[in-house]
Structures are given as structure tokens and as C-alpha cells.
Chains A and B, each alone.
Chain A
Amino acid sequence: GAGVSQSPSNKVTEKGKDVELRCDPISGHTALYWYRQSLGQGLEFLIYFQGNSAPDKSGLPSDRFSAERTGGSVSTLTIQRTQQEDSAVYLCASSLVGGRLSSYEQYFGPGTRLTVT
């Protein structure tokens, strides 16, 4: 079956512009995660959606970042007024059930490489 997909795969934008990154999780997966990976750095958690619960936004680095998940499926990560330090690979992952180790395996999308010039 289809895995997690993300679009676009690459995005180059000018500083100050807004960008939207999209994630299509695996059908039936209730948990969805956004991460980012800057060059040479570890994976940084951004936000976590679980079913209809309020999302865990504790990882969002600033109020320029927001995300939503419509209908419990597709998610959009929006970065407003982009800065050069926002350049990174943004990864989306989904899992069947979030929070329980035994059913926790996350399936990652291919990522969106964002470059802010």
C-alpha cells in the first residue's frame, strides 16, 4: 500500500515569504508527527496530532509555525515570514496508534527540503 507522502519534495523560497508543506499519512493511521532536520543536526520534534485530541505543539520553534490536520488525515505545516534558519528537511511521520510503544512504529515520509534564500 501507499506510504506517507509529502509535497513538495523541494521548496526554495525567499526570506519573508510564507510556505505550506503537505503530508498525506498512511490511511488509517491516527497519529501524525512533524519533525525537522537541519543539516548536521538531530531530528527535532515539531508537533504531534493524535486522533481528535488537541495537538501537542510543544516543539514548534516560534509562532511563525503552525500546523493543522483536516479530517484526521492530511496535514499542512505552515511557516510564515520564513527566515534562513528555517532551512531544513521537514519530515512527516504517521503511526497506527500514538503513545503506546508496542504499536508505535512510525512511518516516515520522504521529507520536504526547504531552502530559504
Chain B
Amino acid sequence: EDKVVQSPLSLVVHEGDTVTLNCSYEVTNFRSLLWYKQEKKAPTFLFMLTSSGIEKKSGRLSSILDKKELFSILNITATQTGDSAIYLCVGGSGGSNYKLTFGKGTLLTVNP
């Protein structure tokens, strides 16, 4: 059974801190790993990772995938209160049966 496990489940930090969110996956016919930020309703797409060892960056956020260890991390530097959200990690499988496997998310709270 495919699964995506995120850690920690929740995290409380102060503004300016750097955080690392973890995601391990076991996905049959793995094709991509996606990160989302979820605040109110719709998750916001952050990154799609398909290749190992290539860091993707967007402002203060960055992510990298390790396909050998079946692992991905999401880094947020100089955190702001607006970064408070649930961060979802999702494994996408390819082939004829493309499907998504969702992690439960990491709830990040950034205090002023």
C-alpha cells in the first residue's frame, strides 16, 4: 500500500526561525512529489519534484528530493507569521494508473 509520512505533525516557531519539514514516501511507480501550502480552503501548489538532488527554490522556500532514500524536505528560511499553514506532501505515481497519495500534513505555526 502506498503511503506518505510527514514529520513533524506540528511545529511552533518564532518569526525569523528556519524550519525543515520532512516527507518520506513509498509510492508504486513513483513519478513526482508535490508540496502544497494549505491555509483556508484550497491548497496552494508550491513545488513539484521529479529528479533527485535538484533543489527547487521559490523565495524563502526550497525543496529537494532524494529518490534513493525516498525522502523529501521542505525548507523555509526567515519564517514569517504568514507562513503559518498546513504543509502537504503528496506522492504521485505514473504509468497508466496515475494517482496521488497524500501525507497528513505538518501544521506550522509561526509566532511573532
Contacts and interface: CB of A to CB of B under 8 A. Distances in A.
Nearest to A56: B41
Given A40-B32, A101-B84, A45 B41 contact: yes
Contact of B86 (A33, A42, A44, A105): A105
Give the bracket for the number of chain B residues in contact with chain A.
20 to 34
B21 interface: no
B85 A91 contact: no
B99 A104 contact: no
Interface of A: 33, 35, 37, 39-40, 42-45, 48, 56, 59, 89, 91, 98-99, 101, 104-106, 108, 110-111, 113
Interface of B: 32, 34, 36, 38-43, 45, 48, 84-86, 90, 97-100, 102, 104-105, 107
9 contacts: A35-B43, A37-B100, A43-B34, A43-B42, A89-B100, A91-B100, A101-B85, A104-B40, A110-B99
